[in-house]
């Protein structure tokens, strides 16, 4: 055991930090740090910088363009980029589809899709949830029926993040209606421009529009767009959801928002408020503990009470902590959280009543943060999964 990172790891951290400072557009950084809306162009601008540096796909193997980092390096990269105010990697092609294609795709699929994902030329939406299948994903009903060299897809996907940024969709479909819930599912790739596909944005309560519905009406998908084997899609989906272990706790993002709390407390003259300060202290300690656990998982000879459920526990704790930080930010806003206008969520916009005061976005940020315990498998589902590991046998 060793408290310090190795000199090589520290040097790597400094390299990432220097890169973020030199290359991240200050306007994008301001948007991230102040919880304002980002456009697709903001993400693409940052991802392109990462691509040029060779850092866009830390989770991919080296022979597919990954940088060949150790788990600690990946961890430090996540932390430093988020702490430096860089946008998260929200592109599902990078986080989710890439690893699945690398593991299960045909050589043609890899060649056709992976380079475009790395260059941010194609953006993939994830078509998993349905109106009748949220956390209970296996009860989905979208169907794909084989007709010659095509599948005919019919159904309705929902909560599709950033579909309005995307040109492609990877989708779970039922190819065997008579099979048990998790068995008749296949994994299909589609072009969002295919006739019969309609994307409709969903307006959220804080004004956000990152989520969409995708309607699939007799969509013809070539059979070469099937990933892996027919009816094995559930396996690939599980691989996809379990792939990212270190990033799941959002430690860098929490650190960055906790800095925001401290900055706002100072700006609002609340630095001497012992009640709020004590809550900051408690969150800071919880963050230290989460960070230590994230790093401990990477160590050898570790004892864990629920082996196999580490990612679930990190998701639960990490998201609850981030929510607590956003709740504290909302508290810091005080009565300035009462006025709201959507203009205030843009960098150049301002609220007609309180101007460009940062506090204008804090109520919306708090409302937005409620998604954290819902997406990626609700925290209740994560607890179910962990309890099953603990109580079986």
Partner 1 sequence: MDFSISDEQQQLRDAVRRFCDGEYPLERRGQRVTADRRSKRWGMMAELGLTGLTVSEACGGSAQGMVEQMGVLEELGRALSPEPYLSTAVISASLIQALGTAKQQDQWLAPIAMGQLRVALALDEPQARYAYQGAGMACHLTREGEGYRLSGEKSLVLDGPDADAFVVAAQHEGILQLLVVPANAAGLTRIAGTTLDAREIATLRFDEVAISADSLLAEGEAAERALQAVRDRASAALCAESVGAMTELVEQTREFLKVRQQFGKPLGRFQALQHRLVDMVIALEQSRSMSAVAAMAVDEAESARRTRLVAAARVTVGKAARLIAKEAIQMHGAMGMTDECQIGHYVKRLMVAERLFGDISYQLETFEKSTAAAA
Shortest Cβ 139–partner 1 spacing (Å): 19
Count of residues in the chain: 393
Binding partner 1 by CB under 8 A: which of 154, 161, 277, 341?
277
Phi, psi (degrees; rounded to nearest 5) at 133:
-140, 90
What is the Cα–Cα distance from 194 to 177, expressed in whole angstroms?
24
Among 4, 63, 178, 348, binds partner 1 (CB under 8 A): 4
For residue 307, state whether it binds partner 1 (rule: CB under 8 A).
no
Which sequence positions are flagged as catalytic? 244
Q: What is the contact mask toward partner 1 in residues 57 to 96, using x (rule: CB under 8 A)?
A: ---------------x------------------------
Applying CB under 8 A, does 5 fall inside the site for partner 1? yes
Residue written as token pair 């559930």: 234
Give the count of alpha carbons within 13 A of 150, CB side only. 9
Q: What are phi and psi of 207, to 5 degrees?
A: 95, -5
Q: Which of 298, 324, 336, 374 binds partner 1 (CB under 8 A)?
A: 298
In the complex with partner 1, the residue whose CB is nearer, 10 or 229, is: 10
Q: What's the rounded Cα separation, in Å, for the pair 3 and 305? A: 23
Does residue 290 touch partner 1 according to CB under 8 A? yes
Residue window 313-332: x/- pattern of binding to partner 1, with contact defined by CB under 8 A: x--xx---------------
Task: Give Dmax (Cα) for the chain.
Answer: 72
From the list 329, 166, 321, the residue with the least C-alpha distance to 248 is 321
Query: Is the CB of 306 or the CB of 367 nearer to partner 1?
Result: 306
Q: Which is nearer to partner 1, 199 or 295 (CB)?
A: 295
Q: Which residues contact 159 (CB under 8 A, 6 or more apart)?
A: 129, 134, 202, 211, 375
Four-point Cα dihedral 148, 182, 137, 169, nearest 10? -30
Residues that bind partner 1 (CB under 8 A): 1-6, 72, 277-278, 281-282, 284-286, 288-290, 292-293, 295-296, 298-306, 313, 316-317, 380, 383-384, 386-387, 390-391, 393
């Amino acid at each position: 055991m060793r408290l310090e990172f190795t000199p090589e790891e520290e040097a790597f951290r400094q390299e990432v930090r220097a890169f973020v400072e030199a290359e991240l557009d200050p306007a994008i950084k301001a948007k991230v740090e102040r919880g304002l809306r980002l456009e697709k162009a903001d993400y693409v601008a940052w991802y392109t910088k990462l691509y040029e540096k060779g850092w866009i796909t830390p989770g991919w193997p080296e022979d597919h363009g990954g940088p060949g980092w150790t788990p600690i390096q990946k961890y430090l990269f996540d932390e430093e980029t988020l702490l430096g105010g860089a946008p998260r990697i929200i592109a599902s092609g990078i986080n989710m589809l890439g690893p699945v294609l690398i593991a299960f795709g045909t050589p043609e699929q890899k060649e056709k899709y992976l380079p475009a994902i790395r260059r941010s030329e194609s953006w993939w939406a994830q078509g998993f949830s349905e109106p009748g299948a949220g956390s209970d994903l296996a009860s989905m009903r979208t169907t794909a029926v084989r007709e010659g060299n095509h599948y005919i897809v019919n159904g309705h996907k929902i909560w599709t993040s950033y579909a309005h940024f995307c040109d492609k969709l990877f989708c779970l479909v039922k190819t065997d209606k008579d099979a048990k819930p998790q068995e008749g599912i296949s994994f299909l790739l589609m072009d969002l421009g295919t006739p019969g596909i309609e994307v409709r944005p969903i307006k959220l309560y804080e004004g956000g529009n990152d989520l969409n519905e995708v309607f699939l009406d007799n969509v013809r998908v070539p059979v070469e767009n099937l990933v892996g084997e027919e009816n094995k899609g559930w396996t690939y989906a599980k691989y996809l959801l379990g792939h990212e272990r270190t990033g799941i706790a959002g430690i860098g993002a929490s650190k960055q928002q906790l800095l925001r709390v401290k900055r706002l407390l100072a700006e609002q003259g609340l630095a001497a408020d012992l009640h709020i300060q004590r809550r900051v202290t408690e969150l800071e300690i919880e963050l230290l503990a989460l960070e230590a656990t994230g790093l401990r998982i990477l160590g050898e000879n570790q004892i864990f009470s629920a082996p196999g459920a580490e990612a679930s526990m990190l998701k639960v704790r990490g998201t609850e902590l981030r929510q607590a930080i956003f709740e504290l930010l909302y508290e810091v806003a005080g009565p300035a959280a009462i006025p709201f206008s959507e203009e205030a969520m843009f960098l150049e916009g301002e609220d007609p009543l309180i101007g460009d005061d940062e506090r204008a976005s804090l109520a919306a940020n708090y409302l937005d943060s409620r998604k954290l315990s819902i997406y990626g498998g609700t925290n209740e589902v994560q607890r179910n999964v962990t309890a099953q590991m603990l109580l079986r046998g």
